Structure formats: C-alpha cells, structure tokens
C-alpha cells in the first residue's frame, strides 16, 4: 500500500483488509494480524504494536521459532534470488547490504552459516538505522550468546522490526 493509513481508517477495516494490510508487519506471519484484529479498535499505533508484540510473545515456542525462521538471511540467498519481501528488500538495501564488497559478502555468508548452524534459525536484527559494519559486528557478537538468550533477542528484534513497519504504514 503506497498511502499511509490513518488509525481511524485502520480501526474501520474489515478483517480481510486488516490482515491484507498488516499481514506482513511480522515477516510471512499474517496470523499475528488475524489475532490482533480481534482487539479492535486501537487507541494508538503504540497500542496496536503492543497488542501484536504480546501476541507474538505469548504464542507457543514452536510458533515463535517459525516466525524467526520466516526471516531471510541478511544478504543471503533470498536477496540473491530476488525473493525478499518488499519490506525486507528496502530494509536491507537501506543498511547497505546490497552494496557489499566481495569480502564483506563472503564474511556475511560465513557468519550466516555459523549462526544458523549454532542456533538453527537465521540471524535477525532490525537493520533500519544500522550500516553493514554495525550489522556484521552484531552478528559476530551475538554468535557468543546461548540459544535461549539468542531466541529471546531475535523475538525482541522482530518486535522492533514490527514497530518500524507499523510507523511507516500508519499515521498515529
């Protein structure tokens, strides 16, 4: 959707339109929007974000793991194949991940591989406002985490991404 939606307009949407518009806030997980719809109307974008984040955080571990796994690798195969969602494409290119040198790309791919092998899910970070060097440093640092901490960090990052996407879509 190219035009920003007002909160009033959002609160008046049918369930189908609500899910269609907000289904991508959490990567390939329209179920979050489906459950959030049941809590209409929202007093603010912040309340909507809190509702959606609470839905994610209170879902089963299996559902949260699937949500994490729905995220693409940074500068990974989805970017190479052109299969990133529009949001992910814009976010990754905004961080300069589409302009990596051959050495940076090789390093990112190695970090993605090591991260996925260790945690069994892709590295997730809200890249908006970060550059490729900060992202690489975060990947290197977070490889030192244990799986439980990294799982929680990934969910927190997903909620940050949700906030960024909601703020870009809806006028408060």
Please state, in angstroms and as integers, the Cα–Cα distance from residue 83 to each residue in 40, 44, 58, 116, following that order. Answer: 32, 33, 29, 19
> Does residue 132 have a cis bond before it (omega within 30 degrees)?
no
d(CA 54, CA 5): 22
Cβ distance 123 to 74 under 8 Å? yes
- Residue with the two structure tokens 């955080």: 57
Catalytic residue among 64, 71, 160, 163: 71
Query: Is 71 noted as a catalytic residue in this protein?
Result: yes
Residues known to be catalytic: 71
């Amino acid at each position: 959707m190219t035009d920003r939606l007002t909160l009033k307009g959002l609160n008046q949407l049918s369930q189908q339109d609500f899910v269609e518009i907000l289904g991508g806030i959490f990567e390939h997980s329209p179920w979050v929007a489906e459950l959030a719809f049941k809590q209409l109307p929202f007093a603010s974008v912040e309340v909507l974000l809190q509702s959606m984040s609470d839905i994610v955080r209170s879902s089963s571990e299996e559902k949260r793991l699937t949500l994490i796994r729905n995220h693409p690798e940074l500068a990974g195969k989805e970017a190479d194949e052109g299969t990133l969602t529009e949001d992910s494409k814009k976010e990754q290119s905004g961080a300069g991940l589409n302009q990596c040198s051959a050495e940076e790309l090789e390093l990112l791919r190695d970090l993605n591989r090591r991260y996925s092998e260790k945690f069994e899910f892709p590295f997730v970070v809200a890249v908006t406002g970060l550059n490729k060097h900060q992202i690489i440093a975060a990947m290197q640092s977070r490889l030192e985490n244990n799986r439980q901490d990294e799982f929680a960090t990934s969910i927190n990052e997903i909620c940050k991404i949700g906030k960024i996407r909601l703020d870009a879509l809806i006028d408060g």
